[in-house]
Copies of this chain bind each other. A is one copy, B any other.
Amino acid sequence: MPRAITAFSNPLVKQVRGLWDKKNRRREGLFIAEGLRILTEAREAGFLPETLFFNAAERHALLEALIAATEAAGGEAIETNADILHKLSGKDNPQAVLGVYRIFPTGLDRIDRSAADLWLVAQALRDPGNLGTILRTGDAVGAGGLILVDDCVDPFSPEAVRASMGALFTQKIAAAPWAEFIAWLRSGEGELVGTSLAADLDYQAARYAKPSFILIGNEAQGLPADYEAKCDLLIKIPMRGKADSLNAAVAAAVTAYEVTNQWRA
């Protein structure tokens, strides 16, 4: 049976609100996901929250299923209201449900490269919206997951989770420094495809081998030159305007669709 919390001063409310801060997420090993759609996707992928907050005024069949599954797995469901959910989520129009999940490990050993033909790799990605959007695109193109190289934004930040629309739970995620990533990559099959403004090879003229690892650089700097030098293919997306670059998540998507379009052709 769900217990009810309606007091802002409740210590659990404070603790969960604290998970907006990366330091607290790391210390507690917990993160937040919001919304019935994302939490249901998580449940279908085998992830249940340790704590589930729901708006008692907005009950729904999918929410009942989520409550039942959470409690059956030993988690706690907490009945609350829109004001508390607003406090927890920081949103004016909070979702009717918010889950607190355990952060999962992100070692490269989580990646079984034979599980998919395509993997996305982001280097020093700074924007959580871009990170989440790349996860969402990875799901859409049938990629296996996203490998975060060097110092990237936290994939467990609420903004990244939200932008992923649940793909955080369906895509594999790993994080590693460049040297470790390259050593791992070269220990097996796989072609590293870098996107670069300096490349000569048009992304449609290139032919992509499986498994393909598409490497996207930092939003402001792109890829370091010595990283580009380690790529098997360096491709460029044609730019016909005044500006010289695309948003990082857009570049990832345009490349990933080209690769998978070639394979289905």
Residues of A that sit less than 8 Å from B by CB: 41, 44-45, 129, 133, 136-142, 163, 165-167, 170, 204, 237-243, 245-247, 249-250, 253-254, 257-258, 260-261, 264
Indicate which residue in B136, B249, B258 contacts A243 across the interface (CB closer than 8 Å).
Answer: B136
**Smallest CB–CB gap between A235 and chain B, Å?**
13
Indicate which residue in B136, B239, B250 contacts A253 across the interface (CB closer than 8 Å).
Answer: B250
| Closest Cβ neighbor of A254 among chain B residues | B257
- A243 and B141 contact, CB distance less than 8 A: no
| Closest Cβ neighbor of A127 among chain B residues | B129
Indicate which residue in B133, B243, B250, B253 contacts A167 across the interface (CB closer than 8 Å).
Answer: B243
User: A254 — which chain B residues lie within 8 A by C-beta?
Assistant: 253-254, 257
User: A129 — which chain B residues lie within 8 A by C-beta?
Assistant: 129
User: A139 — which chain B residues lie within 8 A by C-beta?
Assistant: 241-243
User: A250 — which chain B residues lie within 8 A by C-beta?
Assistant: 133, 136-137, 249-250, 253
User: A163 — which chain B residues lie within 8 A by C-beta?
Assistant: 247
Assembled-state Cα–Cα distance A181/B38 (Å): 34
- A140 and B243 contact, CB distance less than 8 A: yes
What are 14 A-to-B residue pairs whose CB atoms are below 8 Å?
A136-B243, A137-B250, A139-B241, A140-B246, A141-B240, A163-B247, A165-B245, A166-B242, A167-B241, A167-B243, A238-B260, A240-B260, A249-B250, A254-B254
| Oligomeric state, in copies | 2
Assembled-state Cα–Cα distance A3/B142 (Å): 57
- A247 and B249 contact, CB distance less than 8 A: yes
- A247 and B137 contact, CB distance less than 8 A: yes
| Closest Cβ neighbor of A204 among chain B residues | B261
User: A258 — which chain B residues lie within 8 A by C-beta?
Assistant: 257
Query: Given A237-B257, A254-B257, does the pair A242, B141 have CB atoms closer than 8 Å?
Result: no
- B44 and A140 contact, CB distance less than 8 A: no
Assembled-state Cα–Cα distance A167/B163 (Å): 23
- A136 and B247 contact, CB distance less than 8 A: yes
- B242 and A170 contact, CB distance less than 8 A: yes
- B44 and A242 contact, CB distance less than 8 A: yes
**Smallest CB–CB gap between A18 and chain B, Å?**
20
- B45 and A141 contact, CB distance less than 8 A: no
User: A44 — which chain B residues lie within 8 A by C-beta?
Assistant: 242
Assembled-state Cα–Cα distance A129/B247 (Å): 10
Assembled-state Cα–Cα distance A253/B139 (Å): 17
User: A240 — which chain B residues lie within 8 A by C-beta?
Assistant: 140-142, 260
